[in-house]
Amino acid sequence: MSVTPFPSVNALLSRIGTIRPWRRIDWPSVYRAIGSVLPVDYRHLIQITGPIYVGKFLGVRAPGSTNLNVDLVVGVGETLGALQELKRNHGDFGCPYPLWFEPGGLLPWGSSDNGDDLFWLTRGHPDQWTVVVGEARGPTFEEHPLSACDFLSEFLSGGLESKILPESDGPGTVAQVDDATASG
């Protein structure tokens, strides 16, 4: 049964089991805080699930989480602040991409258990944004020509090729993150 018009979102939802209702997200407030609308597939997924943990390795932030470790708006500020410092100290070697609010800048939406960051590459309309993975303890960034939900679905199935992220054992699970116990 399809819950959304997005096959990758439906694939992710099918791995949760019983979905606990998530609070209503005030998207206009999120857009004002972030400075843009966000991709529609991400909005569909997160409006249903809230923050999630994919394949026991990737965390996806959600706006409005009471746990600041998994709140999208807080994560954007923290991650971009760290990258701005890195770029100040090391220039493009530290990060070869512009950062959000710059055109085509990186906008963070998740992370891995190893500390790698997951970004939208904000080129074009938000529904055209693709994924960049930034290595946690190194200067490596890799582009994936997929939406965030397609990327997560590929990772979960074991079909994602990455030099930064480990290969998924696929087929993996998706778990909703409890606001009270999430550790980021």
Q: Is residue 114 part of a domain?
A: yes
**What distance in Å separates the CA atoms of residue 24 and residue 10, rounded to the nearest whole number?**
19
Average pLDDT across the chain, whole number: 91
pLDDT at 183 over 60: no
Given this model, what pLDDT does residue 2 score?
A: 58
Given this model, what pLDDT does residue 181 score?
A: 52
pLDDT at 121 over 90: yes
Phi, psi angle pair for 146, to nearest 5°: -135, 150
Domain count, the chain: 1
Q: Is residue 1 part of a domain?
A: no
pLDDT digits (tens, 9 = 90+) for 143-176: 999 999 999 999 998 899 999 999 876 668 899 9
Residue 52 · residue 174 · CB < 8 Å: yes
Q: In this structure, are strands 117-121 and 130-134 parallel, antiparallel, or unpaired?
A: antiparallel
pLDDT digits (tens, 9 = 90+) for 32-43: 999 999 999 999
Residue 1 pLDDT class (50, 70, 90 cuts): very low
Q: Which domain holds residue 117?
A: 7-176
**What distance in Å separates the CA atoms of residue 21 and residue 42, rounded to the nearest whole number?**
16
Measured in residues, the chain has a length of 184
Q: Is residue 182 part of a domain?
A: no
The single residue listed with the structure tokens 């085509």 is: 104
Q: Is residue 50 part of a domain?
A: yes
Please state the pTM of the whole predicted model.
0.93
| Higher per-residue pLDDT: 23 or 37 | 37
The single residue listed with the structure tokens 């990258």 is: 83
Q: Is residue 184 part of a domain?
A: no
